[in-house]
Structure 1
Amino acid sequence: MVEAVKHGSDNPPSVTERDALSPFLPRSAPSANESPDRIIERTREAIEAARAGGNPIAEAAASSDLCVMLREAGRLNEAIEAGYLALELSNRENAFSEKTQALLALSGCYLHIGNPRTAFSYLAEAESTARRYGSRDEIAEVLLSQSASFGRVRNPEKALEYALLVKGEFGNDLSDIRRSSMCNNIAASLNDLGRYAESLPYVDEGLASLTDPGQELSRAFLLGNKAVALSHAGEIDSVLAIVRQVEELAERHGRQILVAGLMEELGVSYFKLGHSEQARVCLERAKAVAESLSLKNIVRTVCKHLAQVYEELGLPEEAGRDAQDCLDYRRGVVK
């Protein structure tokens, strides 16, 4: 999804937008054979090597990657610390590309902890920096991050606006991975707007652009949006097959946030279709995964939807509990 926090729908953020998390994926693609902990350890080693070699720009770049990895592992305090180190180093060295990446990484952290004001402040600074000093590819990345972030705060209109802006201004110049992100964000926004049939061609275009076996995470985001669209077409077997694929990719890459996002979206989709029991199963799993990763913003929205589902199922005690949990997360009572 895309931009600010205006007209918010009750739809959850689509799988695509969770790439609002565009800085969201580390720039150095990890090997599927490495555990997330090993990748984090290796990135810390790269930071130490850059520091020992007197290369603050390389240290800043690696620190931004570490910020993203730690955030996806649910280690948010450490992630923010790494992001601020990257920002400090890039400011000191006037390293504008690294500064843009640090700002994007930090914005993702603040979205995860439910602080969109700070997140969008960093995104605005990232856009200003990229437009003044960056390449067209960097500008497109920032705009896609804004699209994803607006999706995260459930503003599909602005999310779609930013993704289509990228398509119009940069569509012919995008790398395969950027094109897949653009298609993903468009498809996610269309899903959130209830335009499911329109989203599927963008999913297919995005998948077709992914020819490298190392692009599995981008494939998982697109598949998640395809599952949501197909759930509204009643293609249950296809949805289940996609869920299994996303689960395998999430496990392989240590990105359980993909599972949380997809389960939330499918839960809301099934509830709209009147399948309350299926909705309950999906949303309960989304909540459990999001809680395990300390993803407070996702937990909050899932609790809101679960309260509605429990009410529909005639479970007032559970509905009241999750409504209170949603309120507590919104007020910041839950640490």
Structure 2
Amino acid sequence: MESHERIQAACDFLLQSPPGEINDVLNDVRNIISDDELLQEGIVPALKRYNLAQFITVDVPETNHQSIISEAARLSTGSEDEESQERWLDPRSKKSFVFDHIALEASDPQPFEPNEDFETFRVALEKASLNYLLAHFHDGVSSAFSNQTTPNQFILQVVANKYNPTNFWSGRWRSEYIVDLNDHTIKGTILVNVHYYEQGNVQLSTTHSISIALPPAIVTASPESAGTKILALIETEEGKYQNSLNDTYHEMSEKTFKSLRRALPMTRSKLDWEKVLGYKLGAELSSSKGAFTSGFS
């Protein structure tokens, strides 16, 4: 296989990495490529695509919180061909920074001046999202952006990760909402990825779209009130989706998977195949004992 074909194959593997396992995948493809210089040069674009799509989070310099790396956070200055010129926005601290897509580290923080015409509403949306995280997501991260090209349009992103390698599973919840005060709508997408790999390899990948009409009372309310009510609408929709996932997998466990596997015995207990000979010997001894007793009774 040609070098560029091997690099393309490695990039494809990286882009499909389960939550929290990209380093493991990277180490595996590194052994296959056996050329660190070629690998690093070829996979940086794929790592960048992965980080943006997966809402990778980063510790923001000079702050005590994390921010999301995404298309909404991208700020470009100078030549777009120069990676060093690309900067990323943390709207919560009003700072921009440089991000290393391999080391996953932020550096060179600089002040960022937001558009004050829309900052009051953006901050209200941000505060409401932080309260939402406290209520529903363990170690979740959210970012609220003003759309840089469309006035009165805001982008809210939420990501929550849970990695449990000891028990062979990992998961990531991502959601993104475009709050448009021009046409009074919220349009969003929820993405869920779960990987379970104990003695097997099972992955869940779902995408769910949401569209909500904003009542006029919310649009005309104060920013603080509007932000709280918008997050309440999002909370309702995400709760419905979570319940639908629970119902789906309960049904799969009871019906779909049951039809694919051998039914349990009447005891509803799994058979220990390592002791199966012992079970058989015990049955034979029991049978022999019964015959012996009946012959001399």
Q: Which has the higher strand share?
A: 2
Do the structures match in fold with TM over 0.5? no
> RCO (CA 8 Å, sep 6+): is it higher in 1 or 2?
1
TM-score, structure 2 as length reference: 0.29
TM-score, structure 1 as length reference: 0.27
